Amino acid sequence: MRQAGVGGVAGATAGETAKASGVAGSRAGNERPSLARMYDYYLGGSHNFAVDREAARQVIAAVPDAPLMAQANRAFLRRVVRYLTETGIRQFLDIGSGIPTAGNVHEIAVDAKVVYVDLDPVAVAHGREILGGSDRATAIQADVRQPDRILSHPDVRRLLDFDQPVAVMIVAVLHYIADADDPAGLIGRLRDALAPGSYLALSQTCGDGRGPDERLASEEVYRRADHPLHPRTRAEIGRLFAGFELVEPGVVWVPQWRPDAGCLDDPAAAGFVGGLGRKPGLP
Amino acid sequence: MTAAPPEPAARWPGAAAFARAWAKAVMGTSYVPMTQAELEQHLLSLTVRLAAGLTREPIDVRVGYEIGGELVATHLTSPEGLGRTVEVIELRLLRDLGMACEADPDGAAVQDRLARVLGALTTGFTRALRDRTLDEQETIRRAALVARDQAERALRVSEARFRYQATHDPLTGLPNRALFAERLGAMFAAVASHETARIGLCFIDLDGFKAVNDSLGHHVGDQLLVAVAGRLGDRITQHLVARMGGDEFVVLIEESTCVDDAIKVADAALAAVAEPVHIGGHELCVSASIGIVEREVVGTEPNEVMRAADITLHWAKSAGKGRWALFDPERNAREVARYALSAGMPGALDRDEFYLEYQPLVSLAGGGLVGVEALVRWRHPELGVLYPNRFVGIAEETGLIVRLGSAILAQACAQAVAWGGDTYVSVNLAVRQVRDPRLVPDVTAILHETGLPAARLQLELTESAVMSGDDEPVSALRALADLGVRMVIDDFGTGYSNLSYLRTLPVHGLKVDGSFVAGLDRDPPDGSTDERILAALVSLGHTLGLTVTAEGVETAGQAERLRAIGCDAAQGWYFGVPGPAEQVPGLYPYAAVQNG
């Protein structure tokens, strides 16, 4: 539910500029719920509009833990970025970044280069405002389903050096990507562009351990909001790390990934499974 | 900010236990971007400040207000976070910090103080949260506006790009046919009927571009077009230069004052194209032909102007290329009429609109009728009767003369059979007929089908028809002579008059052009010169055993002189104007009438 990356899955195969902008013209307002802004609402933020809150409240009605899940993912992201920073990673490509509010990558990895990618033009515009004229972080509008477009984006090329390790973050995004869009293939194209020693951080909803009623209820809510959900099993999520060596503890419920202290009583309540993989080889 | 110096945590031994309980209470209520340990540390510092505020004299409630704000700043922003904070402070703070029994044994005073601080804390919290909410709403709305602006700008850019692509030639970058048509149309739309605005159009086509393409390849051809387009665009900056397609360009002069304006543009274009272009080691020298139309806007329309420019371009091409031509409405009218005749001719043949009139050929010696010359007429449904000078040339150009010649030959032979007698009928053969391999079988078949004796058919050939140098016409003429057909050279003395063919060709006679005859009426020296030429031609003919017929005889004096010279026969208005076939039998008593 860090909806971002597919911020506007709603409208959007955000392909052609003209097409996307034609749609964005209306979407830039607040007529349709944006995954990025719904996620902000789960996190207690006010970077959202009535239409986003309405959609988010419906999700919460179906999945009362939704705000907890968002928090758990944001905390997972924070721990991953801190881990990577300690490992020496200084470049981040955060795909599906959402509204870059407190605790985002550039605040945790303060001396790293960061490119935020989101499909929601409002999230991107907001991100640019927050980042101001920063020469080490920027936000671009793009679709996770078009990795080549992301990789060749001039801002990405300007800020990130793909001869050096880059951490690609795809946190709480892929459950909005259908199998038909070939998530493994999308990740493969990103992986191929990365230098050895690069990382992939990934999390998404996992249906394991959930009652079918609850699953159906949340899926129905997102489907009504034009954001159909695609939960995957932990094994399926593990396979998305093909070509990466998993960092301990592997693919787990996100609260279990290198927790600080006082882990949630029921990690599965977070609903998200995630992990961190390293592209083999010396940087 | 509190004015008091920071309180040492050591003063409150129970503060750490309380901060731990506080952190546990608010855990999970909000997303706080710090670890549990960091949160505990943070809440410990707040606890110490809270305790200090509570115990200060007089009480400082501002500390509660500040802490409420700091909780929000730490992102402990949820209602649950506030509720549990109030709850844990009320339940545990005084006890954990051992404050209840210090200065206030009954606890009433410190409870009162706590209530005031908590009130301030909730006030500070809610105010900070409200401010934060308003700020966030403002930034997100601003972001929405920015995003919309960007989307609209992107849309405009893409529309502009689309518009540019739709109106410009991708190869050369020049405006394309669509943009040109738009501007041309707009010009016409903007001009009211009483205005005197003028338009100039230069229609430019490269000469020999196809050869460049064919010999050096399309790639070089394309580069040449780009180079030429660039020069035209650079040199002709005042007017719209468009690429119409292929190697065609057009310049639209929207505020032309006179023809010279357009001619200057055309000269500039010719000069621009004339400079050699260097492409891939080749030096290409091309030229251009230009059709210019310059006229008032009123009274015409875009299509008409374009067509006129196109026609004029072809005039420039046919005049030798590398030049401009100026549209001439009269020439155009003639060509249009000519084209209409040309296009109408096959149908006219099918509908038998061509018919013959006959002019008598009279023996100068005896005065008797020796033959008639068949003269073709076209009974045009709209233009009336047309004479051969209007359409024979066209028929020769289009090649239809072969079909036409064959049709009138058949008609003449049939009519000659109908009127009987032994006079011949003389029919003109065009050059292309003489060279057509079907001539001999055609004549043979016609004679056979009509039953006309070959001796009653005379064919008139021009000198150019027999002087092609090829053997084929000569052998065809021999074959016709062998059939028994008479052959005469028409308009003798006006061509090159190469006499050598007279030795070898099976020719029976000469027809001397009427221009010599006309001189007979004139005073010396012209008159006497023409007379001597005629005498020489007659003498030449007779020497070779040929009959000599004079054309264009209009007066009795001319007839008398020709008779004196010894000319054999004559035709002309003096002897009779061309008339319909039905009148030919009436010509037989001619000699009797003439000779009284």
3-state secondary structure chain A: CCHHHHCCHHHCCCCCHHHHHHHHHHHCCCCCCCHHHHHHHHCCCCCCCHHHHHHHHHHHHHCCCHHHHHHHHHHHHHHHHHHHHHHCCCEEEEECCCCCCCCCHHHHCCCCEEEEEECCHHHHHHHHHHHCCCCCEEEEECCCCCHHHHHHCHHHHHHCCCCCCCEEEEECCHHHCCHHHCHHHHHHHHHHHCCCCCEEEEEEEECCCCCHHHHHHHHHHHHHCCCCCCCECHHHHHHCCCCCEECCCCCEEHHHCCCCCCCCCCHHHHCEEEEEEECCCCC
**What is the DSSP code string of B271-310?**
HHHHS-EEETTEEE--EEEEEEEEEESTT--HHHHHHHHH
Q: Compute the distance between CA of residue A275 and CA of residue A201 in angstroms, rounded to an integer.
A: 6
Q: Which residues of B touch A64 (CB under 8 A)?
A: none
Distance CA A255, CA A268 (A): 8
Contact B147 A70 (CB under 8 A): no
CA–CA separation, A219 vs A222, rounded Å? 5
| pLDDT at B520 (0 to 100) | 80
Separation in Å, CA of A78 to nearest CA in chain B? 7
Inter-chain CB proximity B158 and A18 less than 8 Å = yes
User: Would you place residue B56 in the very low, low, confident or very high pLDDT band (cuts 50, 70, 90)?
Assistant: confident
Interface-testing mutation among B126, B140, B142, B148, with chain A (most A C-beta atoms within 10 A): B140
Cα–Cα dist B379/B384, whole Å: 6
What pLDDT shows up at residue A214? 63
Give the pLDDT confidence score for residue A179 in this predicted structure. Answer: 92
Q: How confident is the model at residue B81 (pLDDT cuts 50, 70, 90)?
A: very high
In the predicted structure, residue B232 carries a pLDDT above the cut 70: yes
The backbone torsions φ and ψ at residue B437, rounded to the nearest 5 degrees and listed phi first, read -65, -15
Q: Do A123 and B143 touch (CB under 8 A)?
A: yes
Q: What pLDDT was estimated at residue B101? A: 58
Which of A282, A166, A179 is closest to A229 using CA atoms?
A: A179
**Contact A126/B143, CB-based, under 8 Å?**
yes
The stretch B8-35 carries a mean pLDDT of 86
Angle (nearest 5°) at CA A114 between A113 and A117: 155
- Please say if the pLDDT value at position A146 is more than 70: yes
Among A71, A122, A260, whose Cβ lies nearest the Cβ of B143?
Answer: A122
CA distance B227 to B223: 6
Q: Tell me if B140 and A261 make a contact (CB, 8 A cut-off).
A: no
Name chain B contacts of A264, Cβ cutoff 8 Å: 28
Cβ(A70)–Cβ(A42) below 8 Å: yes
Closest chain A residue to B81 measured between Cα atoms?
A44
State yes or no: pLDDT of A262 exceeds 70.
no
- DSSP E strand boundaries for B101-225: 198-207
Q: Are B548 and B512 in contact (CB under 8 A)?
A: yes
- Global pTM reads 0.61
Residue with tokens 């020709």: B562
Q: Nearest Cα to B149, choosing from A142, A137, A5, A29?
A: A29
Res B203: pLDDT: 96
What contacts B13, CB < 8 A, 6 or more positions away? Answer: B98
Contact A70 B31 (CB under 8 A): yes
Q: Does A15 touch chain B (CB under 8 A)?
A: no
Residues 75-104 of B with CB under 8 A from A: 75, 77-78
Give residue A271's pLDDT.
Answer: 85
Burial of A28 (0-12, 13-18, 19+ CB in 10 A): buried
Chain A to chain B Cβ contacts (< 8 Å): 104
A87 interfacial to chain B (CB closer than 8 Å) = no
Query: Residue A224 and residue A37: Cα distance in Å, rounded?
Result: 17
Contact B36 A78 (CB under 8 A): no
What pLDDT does residue A29 have? 47
Cis upstream peptide for B585 (omega within 30°): no
Check CB contact under 8 Å for A74 and B136: no
> Which of A26, A32, A46, A65 to mutate to test binding with chain B, by most B CBs within 10 Å of its CB?
A46
Three-state DSSP state, B252: strand
The minimum CA-CA distance between A48 and chain B, rounded to whole Å, is 7
- pLDDT confidence of residue B104: 58
Name residue B511's beta-bridge partners: B549
Q: Which of residues 160-219 of A touch B (CB under 8 A)?
A: none
Among residues 128-157 of chain A, which lie with CB inside 8 Å of chain B?
A: 128-130
- Mean pLDDT of all residues belonging to chain B: 88
Helix, strand, coil percentages for chain B (3-state, nearest 5): 55, 15, 25
Residues for chain A: how many in total?
A: 283
Q: Does A76 touch chain B (CB under 8 A)?
A: no
Is A46 in Cβ contact with B136 (below 8 Å)?
Answer: yes
- The SS3 call for residue B191 is coil
**CA geometry: angle at A144 spanning A141 and A145, to 5°?**
120
Q: Is A262 on the interface with B (CB under 8 A)?
A: yes
Provide the pLDDT for residue A23: 35
Chain B residues in contact with A49 by the CB 8 A cut-off are 140, 144
| Contact residues, B window 121-160, toward A, CB-based 8 Å cutoff | 132-134, 136-137, 139-140, 142-148, 150-152, 154-155, 158-159
Question: Which one, of A177, A200, A213, A191, lies nearest residue A246 by Cα?
Answer: A200
- Judged by DSSP in three states, B589 sits in coil
Percentage of the residues of chain B whose pLDDT score is greater than 90: 59
Calculate mean pLDDT across residues B241-262. Answer: 93
As a dihedral over the C-alpha atoms of residue B542, residue B548, residue B554, residue B559, rounded to 10 degrees, the angle is: 30
User: How far is the C-alpha of B452 from the C-alpha of A47, rounded, in Å?
Assistant: 110
Q: What is the pLDDT of residue B378?
A: 94
CB–CB of B75 and A71 under 8 A? no
Q: Please, which residues bridge with residue B284 across strands? A: B277
Contact A44 B77 (CB under 8 A): yes
What is the amino acid identity at position B22?
Answer: W
Q: Three-state secondary structure along B107-119? A: CHHHHHHHHHHHH
User: Residue A127: phi, psi to the nearest 5?
Assistant: -60, -40
**B446-504 confidence digits (pLDDT tens):** 999 999 999 999 999 888 777 766 666 778 888 999 999 999 999 887 776 677 777 77
B336 vs A152, residue with greater confidence = A152
Cα–Cα distance list, B424 to B362, B420, B478, B486, B562 (Å): 11, 10, 19, 9, 22
At B79, list the tokens. 């209602």
- β-pair type (B324-326, B354-363): unpaired
Q: Which of A44, A47, A129 lies closest to B31 in CB terms? A: A44
Contacts with B72 from chain A: Cβ below 8 Å: none
Joined together, the tokens standing for residue B500 give 């050598």
DSSP 8-state symbol, B28: T
Is 70 exceeded by the pLDDT of residue B327? yes
Is A193's pLDDT higher than 70?
Answer: yes
Question: Mean pLDDT over residues B519-539, rounded?
Answer: 80
What residues in B contact A25, CB-CB < 8 Å?
A: 148, 151-152, 155
Per-residue pLDDT at B539 exceeds 50:
yes
Q: Which residue has the tokens 């999520």?
A: A237
Instruction: Specify the DSSP class assigned to residue B581.
Output: G
C-alpha span between B47 and B29 (Å, rounded): 19
Find chain B residues with C-beta within 8 A of A121's C-beta. 147, 150-151
Q: How far is A264 from chain B (nearest CA, A)?
A: 9
What value does the mean pLDDT take over residues B63-80? Answer: 92
Q: How far is CA B274 from CA A205, B232, B280, B282, B285, in A?
A: 72, 11, 18, 15, 7
> Which residues in chain A have Cβ-Cβ distances shorter than 8 Å to B28?
68, 71, 264
Find chain B residues with C-beta within 8 A of A262's C-beta: 24, 27, 36
Question: Within 10 Å of residue B175's Cβ, how many Cβ atoms?
Answer: 21
Contact B129, B153 (CB under 8 A): no
The pLDDT score that the predictor gives to residue B322 is 92
Closest CA to B430 of B455, B471, B460: B460
CA dist list (Å): B293 to B201, B265, B266, B331, B336: 5, 12, 11, 13, 17
Q: What pLDDT does residue A267 have?
A: 79
* Residue of A2, A47, A83 for testing the chain B interface, max B β-carbons within 10 Å: A47
Say how far apart CA B248 and CA B264 lie, in whole Å: 19
Indicate yes or no: CB of B33 within 8 angstroms of CB of A102: yes
Q: What's the confidence (pLDDT) of residue A27?
A: 41
Give pLDDT tens digits for B267-277: 999 999 999 98
Q: pLDDT at position A63, please?
A: 80
DSSP B78: S
- Element (H or E) spanning B8, and its range? none
What is the distance in angstroms between the CA of the first residue and the CA of the last residue of chain A? 32
CB A189 within 8 A of CB A274: no
Q: Do A29 and B152 touch (CB under 8 A)?
A: no
Prediction ipTM score = 0.80
Q: How far apart are CA A6 and CA A120, in angstroms?
A: 7
CB-CB: which of A45, A78, A122 is closest to B147? A122
* Most confident range, picked from A63-72, A113-122, B193-202: A113-122
Q: Say whether B155 and A71 touch across the interface (CB within 8 A).
A: no
Closest CA to A275 of A191, A3, A248: A248
pLDDT at A4: 37
Residue A140 has pLDDT above 80, yes or no: yes
